[in-house]
């Protein structure tokens, strides 16, 4: 239970980082499945040598009619998925030499059975080398695909700077599928003449079409955030952009494509926050003393891209944003994460009374707590954005609306 205690201290204490822990643990304090897999893979790398040694021991301790040829043939096949090509070649040579040496030792090399066994080990070794080569080429293609995916993520969903408009910013994207980089969740932060504006959203669907919609939303947001004088105007620009994109793609997306989103605006004096919520989970306001308050929307609105079902003017709501407090925006991958008994993760309850040194520490502890709650990870992608207001906003980082002559 030592690791579990440390993780809970990190969630509730000040100055502790979750990434200082030895590794992720489950609810009973045991290692997560991912860490057990990594340990098993390290042990498997020693298995080919162990198989050859066992074959030699079997040959030396049994009569000549008992053969260890299946063990010698198995060693290169075991090595192929885990060893580089040169490593598989060395294991293959070792297996062939072990088989040959045992027949020379027992003076049975001139029999038809011995030659057949030796030929079998040679053929299986050649097959293992071929398999190893195929796997290496596939691994290289996969590595290239991962690099391309990571580059696409940085282009479509860049992580915001640590400080924007005098505010401290932290953002994290946690994909539900291991090895994935980007899906339908999104966030963006921009310093504008009207204040620091941000958007956090979740596009319906998965795959390439969801990524395309993410690019449309973020591109439209960055343009509208600079040009529109009101947060309501920014929301309407995003609505029109998604409607055009859905009509262009046609098919089901033209009727069922939508994006839940919450838009926020923090004026440069930092004293309040304005919000427009389009069917998205309500953000949390975490005060300096650890109190947590949900910024609920009084007038719920449909998600973006659903204007054909109904239209009414967006109304921005505002709340006091005290100095030293933090705003937490998230997608439903956080609020809908469930444990083994189907109990949902409730961010407000889990964070109430907790104090963190900064937004980055908050997000890291939150991610680890979700893993602890679910026993390994969320079933859905999760985007998190934390915005902390320092005690004083640095004047030199403010932007003002230019005067119109």
Q: Scan for tokens 């009973």, then name that residue.
A: 28
pLDDT of 272: 93
Out of 126, 150, 174, a domain closes at 150
Task: Note down the domain range covering 109.
Answer: 45-150
Out of 122, 150, 178, a domain closes at 150
H or E segment at 172?
strand 167-174
Examine the domain organization and report whether 231 and 89 are in the same domain.
no
Say how many C-beta atoms besides its own lie within 10 A of residue 248's C-beta. Answer: 11
Examine the domain organization and report whether 109 and 231 are in the same domain.
no
Give the closest residue to 331 by CA, choosing from 281, 259, 376, 264. 281
Cα(first)–Cα(last) distance of the chain, in Å?
Answer: 67
9 pLDDT higher than 80: no
pLDDT of 15: 40
* Count of structural domains within the chain: 2
Out of 115, 150, 185, a domain closes at 150
Examine the domain organization and report whether 143 and 215 are in the same domain.
no
Q: Is residue 19 part of a domain?
A: no
Mean pLDDT of 3-7: 40
Burial 257-290 (b: 16+ CB within 10 A, else e): bbbbbbbbbbbbebeebbbbbbbbbbbbbbeeee
pLDDT, tens only, 254-277:
445 689 999 999 998 878 999 999
**pLDDT tier at 178, thresholds 50, 70, 90:** low
Share of the chain above pLDDT 70, in %: 75
326 pLDDT higher than 90: yes
pLDDT, tens only, 105-161:
887 777 888 888 889 889 999 998 998 888 888 777 766 666 665 666 666 678 899
**pLDDT tier at 16, thresholds 50, 70, 90:** very low
Q: Is residue 353 part of a domain?
A: no
Examine the domain organization and report whether 55 and 172 are in the same domain.
no
pLDDT, tens only, 336-383:
888 888 899 999 999 999 999 899 999 999 999 998 888 876 677 889
Q: What is the DSSP letter of 304?
A: B
CATH number at residue 218: 3.60.40.10
* pTM, rounded to two decimals: 0.64
Q: Is residue 343 part of a domain?
A: no
């Amino acid at each position: 239970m030592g690791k579990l205690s440390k993780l809970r201290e990190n969630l509730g204490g000040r100055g502790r980082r979750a990434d200082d822990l030895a590794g992720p643990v489950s609810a009973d304090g045991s290692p997560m499945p991912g860490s057990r897999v990594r340990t098993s893979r390290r042990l498997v790398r020693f298995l080919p040598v162990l198989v050859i040694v066992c074959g030699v021991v079997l040959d030396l301790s049994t009569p000549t009619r008992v053969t260890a040829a299946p063990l010698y043939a198995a060693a290169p096949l075991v090595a192929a998925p885990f060893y580089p090509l040169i490593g598989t070649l060395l294991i293959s040579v070792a297996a062939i030499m072990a088989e040959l040496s045992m027949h020379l030792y027992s003076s049975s090399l001139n029999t038809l059975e011995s030659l057949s066994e030796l030929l079998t080990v040679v053929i299986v070794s050649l097959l293992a080398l071929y398999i190893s080569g195929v796997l290496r080429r596939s691994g290289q293609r996969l590595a290239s695909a991962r690099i391309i995916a990571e580059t696409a993520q940085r282009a479509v969903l860049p992580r915001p700077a640590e400080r924007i408009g005098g505010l401290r910013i932290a953002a994290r994207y946690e994909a539900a599928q291991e090895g994935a980089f980007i899906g339908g969740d999104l966030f963006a932060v921009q310093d504008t003449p009207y204040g620091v504006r941000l958007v956090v959203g979740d596009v319906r669907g998965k795959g390439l079409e969801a990524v395309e919609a993410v690019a449309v939303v973020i591109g439209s947001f960055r343009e509208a955030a600079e040009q529109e004088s009101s947060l309501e105007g920014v929301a309407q620009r995003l609505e029109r952009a998604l409607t055009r994109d859905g009509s262009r793609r046609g098919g089901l997306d033209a009727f069922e494509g939508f994006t839940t989103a919450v838009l926020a605006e923090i004026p440069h004096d930092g004293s309040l926050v304005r919000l427009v919520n389009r069917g998205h989970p309500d953000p949390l306001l975490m005060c300096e003393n650890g109190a947590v308050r949900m910024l609920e929307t009084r007038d719920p609105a449909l998600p973006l891209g659903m204007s054909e079902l109904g239209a009414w003017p967006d109304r921005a709501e505002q709340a006091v944003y005290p100095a030293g407090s933090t705003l937490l925006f998230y997608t439903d991958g956080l609020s809908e994460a469930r444990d083994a008994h189907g109990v949902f993760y409730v961010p407000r309850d889990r964070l109430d009374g907790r104090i963190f040194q900064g937004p980055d520490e908050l997000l890291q502890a939150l991610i680890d707590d979700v893993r602890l709650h679910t026993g390994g990870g969320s079933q859905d992608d999760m985007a998190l954005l934390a915005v902390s207001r320092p005690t004083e906003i640095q004047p030199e980082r403010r932007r003002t609306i230019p005067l119109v002559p």
